[in-house]
Homo-oligomer: A and B are copies of this chain.
Amino acid sequence: MSEIPVEKISVGIVGASGYGGVQLVRLLTEHPAVDLTYLGGDSSAGQDYTEIYPHLVGRVDLNVEPVDLEVIASRCQVVFLSLPNGLAYNMAPLLLEKGCKVLDLSADYRFDNLDTYQAWYGGDRHDHGTAAQAVYGLPELFRDQIRTARLIGCPGCYPTASLLGIAPLLKQGLAQPETLVIDAKSGTSGGGRVAKTGMLLAEASNSLAAYGVARHRHTPEIEQICSHLTRNEVLVQFTPHLIPMVRGILSTIYATLRDPGLVRDDLLTIYGAFYRSSPWVTVLPNGIYPQTKWAWGTNRCFLGLETDPRTGRVIVMSAIDNLMKGQASQAVQCFNLMMGLDESLGLPAVTFYP
């Protein structure tokens, strides 16, 4: 592990009361290089943070403050924005101007092309200059760009799981991109800490359904990076499902191999090489398929692989914790890279099982 800087980095979180926020609070209060100096939120401003999350009584002693960009910039070197889509792009430009580095966990800075953003998310964007500086915060694919970035658009949870499973296939030209089918399954915490009838335990427990079929907003995000990897436009079939569990995403990815002679061992070798320098991706040995629970509370991504000689397809299974590698801990991984720290500093690696 690299040296921990003598002087801690002052960090703020805007949008601290949601599930993304509370992961960040947990990670950053225990991060050896961070001094968490600001928690912001509009609806919860004025509250002691432990009123919102009583499990932190005795461990976190911070109040939620109103969101005032001047104040934030004066107190924080780095700011995490953990807000609903469409808010960050009114904050990031000023924060950057004041000299802060910014990590945005919403969709606002994930797209090269703001027309794509506006087509899927709406809004009226005039921050093209700022957006052009943003780097897509998937360290396994964009590590070098992240190191020098001042603004990170942190990936969505489904794109993280899916792209880590797909990248070696497309980068090496092993699969036919137009055959990509991504059947993804997520725990209900992906819906956030928002009271919705369909997310009640009484409704969502002991059941399972797809949603957003053929129109989920993570589709263009996956396609953008797939297109980047193949240098051609790629369309993917992406279907999310809601699973009766709290955390975790499993993406089951199907693609037809260009060379039907490739077998599992070949692909394990290729994947192993692809992720050799990526400590947070684990390619599982022959015949072991990932359980989402193995990643619970950690920054890890587990990949399992299978080929089907009968059909000529590869099946990749990719498991992450949607709130960690799919959201908050991946943002901290990017933060580490941006600040010249060890990529793994302060990131939890081993879950408590079972």
Contacts and interface: CB of A to CB of B under 8 A. Distances in A.
Interface in A198-224: 199-211, 213-214
A183 B54 contact: no
Interface residues of A, number: 90
Contacts of A252: 183, 210, 239, 241
Interface stretch (A67-75, A87-95, A344-352): A344-352
A49 to B, nearest CB: 12
B243 A244 contact: yes
Contacts of A57: 282, 284-285, 288
Nearest to A285: B57
A31 to B, nearest CB: 12
Interface in A323-354: 323-324, 348-354
Interface string A182-202: 010101110101111101111
A207 B19 contact: no
Given A58-B282, A185-B185, A352 B26 contact: yes
A53 interface: yes
A23 interface: yes
A203 B53 CA distance: 11
A308 interface: yes
A246 interface: yes
A317 interface: yes
Interface of A: 19, 22-23, 26, 29-30, 53-60, 178-179, 181, 183, 185, 187-189, 191, 193-197, 199-211, 213-214, 235-237, 239, 241, 243-248, 250, 252, 254, 282, 284-285, 288-297, 302, 304, 306-308, 310-311, 313, 315, 317, 319, 323-324, 348-354
